[in-house]
Chain A
Amino acid sequence: MASSPPFILEISSFSDEKSRHYAKVMDHYFNNGITLILPEDTSAPQSVTDCFADQLSYKLTQLPVYRLLEAPFVNGFVKKGAVHLISCDTKLDVHDCAAVTPAGCLVLHLTKDTYQELGLEAVPQTLAQKQADIYQVNIDLKADHFHPGKRGYDKAMRCLKDRLGLKFDFLISWVPHDSEVCSSSVGVYFTDLCDKVESYELTKKSRVLTSVACPRIVAEEPEGIEEGCHFQKVFEWMGAVACDISLVSEETDDDNYVSSFSCPVPRVNCPRCCVYQVKGFIPPDVILKVLKALRAHKSAHPSSVPASLTVVGFSDAPVVQKNIPHDFYLSGTNVYSFVLYPDERYWLYTASVA
């Protein structure tokens, strides 16, 4: 297992032209869950919960991979709109994984045994892949030369169809190019092609914490001063809240056996705090909507403690950002967090990827 990657904090503003929040959200294709921490709120605002309403994602059981190369799928869905497709219930370091990115690239993340039997050329390995004997095959579905009758297409089709018959359980969600087309048509398309198609629902959870100690944050001073906490401690606290860890408060001098973690000083006491969590398969567009709704909500209800949004990717996603392979760090390269201030400023905390 590789050591943890370096972490990066970006301080910027949403109104800044060069703000990278849009690229960051859109390049992070496969999102498994989000956590919102909203101090001084009893429930998640309506505008945020509405974002998840019209989102449709499907679980495809035992779909053969060669179905993804077929012309109707490529022309009808991949080239129009954005397809997010990822294999589920797999383990990145021991199983084969597959994904189709919105950029139209089929990524196969293969173990040594499968690769030596499949017959498709892999991209050069990274160091971590070399150590783990992992091979990554990229097939560009949107390429001009990739259509039936061409050698490359026929070979890929033959290898995936006749030789091994790779099958996966997939999660798929499709964002149409046209607002008149319903995103459910992708589910209909796959009904005859695989064993079972079912709607993959999001699970939403909301908790309200009362009288919770929150760290005091000063936007300009991430390194920590007397009035504000160090950013790493803030993010550690956010993680503890998201995981529902019982925090020790020093006033009561509670000696907790399980955890001795306490809110970093300096702190402010928050009468209420809402933690809203959504798990499932969430495309980046939805996260962008959530972010927008949250910004509007935050500027309407300014509070002393900023709100935060944490996005967690799939642990078995073969790629993290664009085509950068997922190297399976312990702390995860596919997590990012926003801390939003009322005045459009934000902190973006990420683990760096190569």
Chain B
Amino acid sequence: MDQEPSAKDLTVTNAEAYQELSQADLGGKANQMSSGARTTYVTSFLGKHLPTNRLKTDTDLSAKFESVDCSRRRKKKRGKSKAGVGARTKVKAKLDWKLECGKKTSYSTYLPLKEMWTKYIEELIQFSSSPNLNLPAAAQKMMKADLHGCPLSVRKSKCPSYIGVSGIVIQETRNMFVLVTPCNEIKSIPKANSIFTIVLHDYVFTIHGNQFIVKPGDRAAKKFKTKPSLDL
């Protein structure tokens, strides 16, 4: 502890005690003394003037503390890294939650949805109005239609195990169709590298999955371009 700041502090706090000391006397004495003598002088000075509760001895360790750990190191937060959570996992987690709410997934639960969708698509495309359906216009409408509840099957795929899977669409995301199959199973099929078909009143609609990778919401507004090559 330096003498000068402590003296100043004392000046502020114990102004009365200082009255007895002359400034010149104090300064002269302090300058002449060696460092060891200066410490003993300060200690005795403080012992004389400070109240007892503020006096601390070296033996009393209760007030002493020292940081053992390096203060700069911080604990790492243990959480899921962002890279580890793929889109698929997220969708699945969401879906699981959704399905748990519905307790048990069964194909029959979604049959009313299928009927609703069939009615909706019949209104949209108007199958009954004329015997000859305007196919390009119908295809345009189909592209913009909502596909939740639609009976879909995979006709072609680069992955052989997806081929032949059919069911009702219960969720559509940018990259996936989630189907519930007649065996009460949930199957997620990526749109990429697959070709899907929808059968409706003697008409077969084919969806080329590679061209269909759009968010279902944005699909209504998207303008589809004709692509020359339709290879998987």
Q: Is A122 close to B, CB under 8 A?
A: yes
Q: Is A145 close to B, CB under 8 A?
A: no
Residues in A neighbouring B19, C-beta threshold 8 A: none
Cα distance A40–B76 in the bound complex, in angstroms: 93
Contact with A along B121-140 (1 / 0, CB 8 A): 00000000000000000000
Q: Is A95 close to B, CB under 8 A?
A: no
Do residues A163 and B164 form an inter-chain contact, with CB atoms below 8 A?
A: yes
Do residues A118 and B161 form an inter-chain contact, with CB atoms below 8 A?
A: no
Do residues B164 and A121 form an inter-chain contact, with CB atoms below 8 A?
A: no
Do residues A116 and B164 form an inter-chain contact, with CB atoms below 8 A?
A: no
Residues in B neighbouring A159, C-beta threshold 8 A: 163-164
Q: Is B17 close to A, CB under 8 A?
A: no
Q: Is A117 close to B, CB under 8 A?
A: yes
Residues in A neighbouring B160, C-beta threshold 8 A: 115-116, 118-122
Question: Which residue of chain B has its CB nearest to the CB of A115?
Answer: B160
Residues in B neighbouring A119, C-beta threshold 8 A: 160-161, 163-164
Residues in B neighbouring A116, C-beta threshold 8 A: 156-158, 160, 163, 232
Contact with B along A112-140 (1 / 0, CB 8 A): 00011111111000000000000000000
| Interface residue count on the B side (C-beta < 8 Å) | 9
Cα distance A117–B154 in the bound complex, in angstroms: 9
Residues in A neighbouring B156, C-beta threshold 8 A: 116-117
Shortest CB-to-CB span from A336 to chain B, Å, is: 35
Shortest CB-to-CB span from A167 to chain B, Å, is: 19
Contact with A along B143-173 (1 / 0, CB 8 A): 0000000000001111011011000000000
Shortest CB-to-CB span from A297 to chain B, Å, is: 52
Cα distance A121–B158 in the bound complex, in angstroms: 11
Do A158 and B163 contact each other (CB < 8 Å), given the known contacts A116-B156, A117-B156? Answer: no
Contact with B along A161-190 (1 / 0, CB 8 A): 001000000000000000000000000000
Cα distance A178–B161 in the bound complex, in angstroms: 41
Residues in B neighbouring A121, C-beta threshold 8 A: 160-161
Task: Return 24 A-B CB contacts under 8 Å, by A number.
Answer: A115-B160, A116-B156, A116-B157, A116-B158, A116-B163, A116-B232, A117-B155, A117-B156, A117-B163, A118-B160, A118-B163, A119-B160, A119-B161, A119-B163, A119-B164, A120-B160, A121-B160, A121-B161, A122-B160, A158-B164, A159-B163, A159-B164, A163-B163, A163-B164
Measured CB to CB, the residues of B under 8 A from A are 155-158, 160-161, 163-164, 232
Known: A116-B160, A122-B160; 19 extra A-B contacts, CB below 8 A, are A115-B160, A116-B156, A116-B157, A116-B158, A116-B163, A117-B155, A117-B156, A118-B160, A118-B163, A119-B160, A119-B161, A119-B163, A119-B164, A121-B160, A121-B161, A158-B164, A159-B163, A159-B164, A163-B163
Q: Closest 4 CB pairs between A and B?
A: A119-B163, A116-B156, A119-B160, A119-B164
